[in-house]
Structure formats: structure tokens, C-alpha cells
Amino acid sequence: MPPRTVVIGVDSSTQSTKAVLVDADNGRTLAVGRAPHTVTGAAGARESDPEQWWEALRTAVRAGLAQSGVHARTVTGIAVAGQQHGLVVLDSAGRPLRPAMLWNDTRSAPQAAALTAELGGPAAWTARTGSVPVAAVTASKWRWLREYEPDTASAAAAVRLPHDFLTERLAGTAATDPGDASGTGWYSTASGGYDPVILELLGLDAALLPPVAGTGAARAGALTAEAAGALGLPAGIAVAAGTGDNMGAAVGLGLGAAGLLDHPVLSLGTSGTVFAASRTRPASPALSGFAATDGTYLPLACTLNCTLAVDRIATLLGLDRDDAAPGGEAVLLPYLDGERTPDLPAASGLLTGLRHDTTPQQLLGAAYEGAVVTVLRAQDELARACGLDPADPSVAARPLRLIGGGARGRVWVETVRRLSGRPVVLPGGDEPVALGAAALAAAAADGSDPVATATGWGTGAGPQLPPLPRDSETWERICSVLDRAFVPLLGGS
């Protein structure tokens, strides 16, 4: 039976756009349209032309419509969940003045350190915004732009995040949401708005920023005739305010006030991300204390080096990504792009513990282990920030939900199980970010609660794998190397 009502959730990530067409009545995925992005840059720079995101969105939506066979008139809403932190600067006509600086652009690390000091240190930042500036945060990139490209900064008529840029193209009006805004560094999770003290510190006029929409069923507006023609959709359908990709994933997994709590999520993608829903505002310098799109909070820690870094090691070794074995005595920390958690923007990859009998498969396995230990240590920090002891048996027994490309990789899943010693849930929804965006689109169209909608769709459910005995020997060996190798950078003695 053809669907009565269809919504479209868009995941605009670092590498690609995915547009998922969803039956709004039951959450059934009808089709997934895809289009790639291009990322350029060297020596810490990572940039993309925002116009290609728009072209990719058009391509992906049209491809999804063609695949699904549904009539465009059944579509009632669309929402975008986009990669966080990217800096998009526009002229008065809404055209990009330069390529967007992406979240994994590390050039602004010195500016992040300077901003931290200028406001009074990490505690001052977490008290106001919930997070301490790092190179990934948009505020650091804006400071870098003012220092290195002052003419571009002065010419900016609008400053947007990636999802803001696309939402504005759809609705014709500017809007953001509390979740994605909380990753800029200039939005206060304490006050629920842009922080005037920080804006003054940055030399950023609040008039350049989009209005912050409400939570849950917030609408940015209606699809313009121009955007409708580009996408092949009816003009006037609901355009949700959307959110950041991590917040979108949380909605898609049913995390939040209307859904599951205390279920930490590990997202294994280009970056490794761990987050959980919380009704208490987190304020720890060790993690990002984001807001969630439904009015709760989303404490999060993110590592720069995950699947992309391990795939690079596999390529260097001439191996398939699944041709790996436990690392033995070898330790490989694949910090190929610096690192964000721990905050080591100048770090590089490190290999130690080689023996005559070390095999290429063990080296690749060691890269998996190094990436997984880094993510799991971030998970422990998140638990502590939420008032939990990660060594408490009741906490350690809670399942980890694995999403992202790595969750479909045998070696990734088994490495997480072996090094965490915890049960692992593999949610059945293949595209949690886009499904979360689809739930936001449904909410914008009919006023429903997006988390409750996603929970009803069952997109966060999936098979649970039992725990494996924890490989404490490998864990302790990697942690020892990490702490000894990087203690000067971490400020220890």
C-alpha cells in the first residue's frame, strides 16, 4: 500500500549528502538518495564549497524521489541535519564569500587557546556555553578568519552553520536550532541564547546570526517556489529548523525527554563520537556540553581520527580493512589529523612496540585498537561528567549503541566489544541522522514530538550482542603509551 504521507530527512555530512524518504505513519524507509561532497585542504585545512552541499541536496532528493516511486505531492515536510561547527560566511545575496571551514579544520587551534584564556579559562567557558573552545568550534574559526582574512570577515553579511545554510536555501528565511547553535561557542546553554559577552570578545555582530528557533516541532518556514522547483517537491511544505548531525542522530535513536535515557551512543564515522541524553545541563571542560534539539542536553565527546584514519593505515599496508588481527605488543595511535579528544591539534600518528614477528595484520589491528581506546576513554569522561563512575559494574553493564559506518564493519564491532567488555546494540535504522531529521520534518508538518515519533518508528532498536571478556591487557598498554607519549602536550609533568 503506498504511503499516505512522506517526510524527507537530509543528512549533510562531511563526505556526502543522504536524503531519506520515510513513510511518516510507520517510519519505513522508502528510498535513500545520495550525492558526494568534495573536501580540500592540506596542513590542517579542511574546506568545502557550500554551493556543492546545495547541489548535492538537490541531487539526493531527486534521486530518492525517483527510487521510491512515490508522488511528490505526498511529501509534507523536509529537514536537514548537518555536520556541526563549520563556518559559512555569506554576502548580502546569500552567496558564500569563501569555502566553508569544516569541523576538522585544525588551523584555528591557537585561536581556540587564546579565546579560552581571554574569557578566564575553561571553567568560565563551560559555565557560559557548556564547552571549551577547540579548533573544531566555530568561534575559533571566526577568530582565525578575522586574523588571517580580515577583508572577508568584514564583508560578511551573514554567518551560518552548514545546516543553517541549507535550511535557509529551502525556506528562504534564516533559522537555526539550540542543538547546532550550542556547538558554535557563542551560544549559551545556560541562558538559552547567543552570549553577548562572547560575541563582543569575538567581534561578531549578533545581527549576522540566524534566529534560534524553538525546540522539537520548530519550523523554519515553508519550502519556497524556487527551492521546490530545484528539488521536485511541492512549494509550501514544512521546512523544519533542523539541527546538527549528532543531535539528529539522538532524535533518530529515540534519545531525549520522550525516549530512551542513559544509553550512550558511539558513532564510528570519519570522526569517533560518543554522546548520551541528559536532563541535567553538563558543564565539564573534558567534553562538549551541547543542547539537544528537544530541550534536553547532549553531552558529547568527539575524536578526529576514526574510520578514515584506520582506512588510511590499511591502504598504507596494502590490506583490506577487515584483514586485521589483534595488535599484540604493537601500539598504533592513528592521530593522522591531530586530535580533538584529547585536545592535541598538533599531534601525529604514533607507532611503538614493533617486533620481528609483528605482522601487517597486527599493525592494522593496532590501528583499530588505538582508535577504539581513544573513543572509549572519551566515553568514560562523559560518564564522569554526568555523575557516573565508569568502573561501577551497573554503569559498565549498560549497552553501548554503535552507529555510523564502523558499526557495519566486523572488525570495528568486535574491537569495541573486546576493549569495552560491554553489551553492544546495533540499531536497525541504517541512517540515524537522516531518520532523526525525518522525525523533525514530521514534527514541523504536524506538530508532533520528534523524539516520540522516532521512538514509535523503532529506529533505535536492534540486535544486542552480549559482552566479551574485557581485554584489559591491551587497554592498559595503549593507555600507558598514550599518557606517556602525550603528557607534555597535555600539560602534565
Domain boundaries, the chain: 6-251, 259-426+463-490
The single residue of 195, 245, 380, 449 carrying the catalytic annotation is: 245
3 state DSSP class of 288: strand
- What pLDDT does residue 492 have? 41
Pairing of β 187-188 and β 193-194: antiparallel
Give the pLDDT of residue 280: 80
Q: Which residues in the chain come in under a pLDDT of 70?
A: 216, 257-262, 487-493
- Each residue's pLDDT tens digit, 3-25: 899 999 999 999 999 999 999 99
The Cα–Cα gap between 344 and 122 comes to 16
Say whether 245 is catalytic. yes
Scanning the structure block, which residue is given the C-alpha cell 532498536? 461
Instruction: Tell me which residue of 461, 427, 457 sits closest to 442, measured CA to CA.
Output: 457
Which CATH superfamily, name and number, covers 259-426+463-490? ATPase, nucleotide binding domain (3.30.420.40)
The 3-class secondary structure across 316-346, one letter per residue, is HHCCCCCCCCCCCCCEEECCECEECCCCECC
Query: Which segments of 237-359 does DSSP mark as H helices, in order?
Result: 245-252, 307-317
Can you give the pLDDT at residue 397? 87
Per-residue pLDDT, 493: 35
Which CA distances in Å does 442 have to 7, 18, 228, 436, 451?
6, 17, 18, 10, 11
The pLDDT assigned to 488 comes to 46
For the stretch 176-230, pLDDT in tens is: 999 999 999 999 999 999 999 999 999 999 999 999 998 767 899 999 999 999 9
Domain 6-251 indexed as CATH 3.40.1410.10: no
Q: Is 415 helix (H, G, I), strand (E, B) or coil?
A: helix
| Pairing status of strand 400-403 against strand 424-425 | parallel
pLDDT the model gives residue 281:
84
Which residues, in sequence order, are bridge partners of residue 160?
88
Domain 6-251 and domain 259-426+463-490 have a common topology? yes
Give dist(CA 349, CA 119) in Å, integer: 32
pTM of the model: 0.86
Cell reading at 37: 561532497
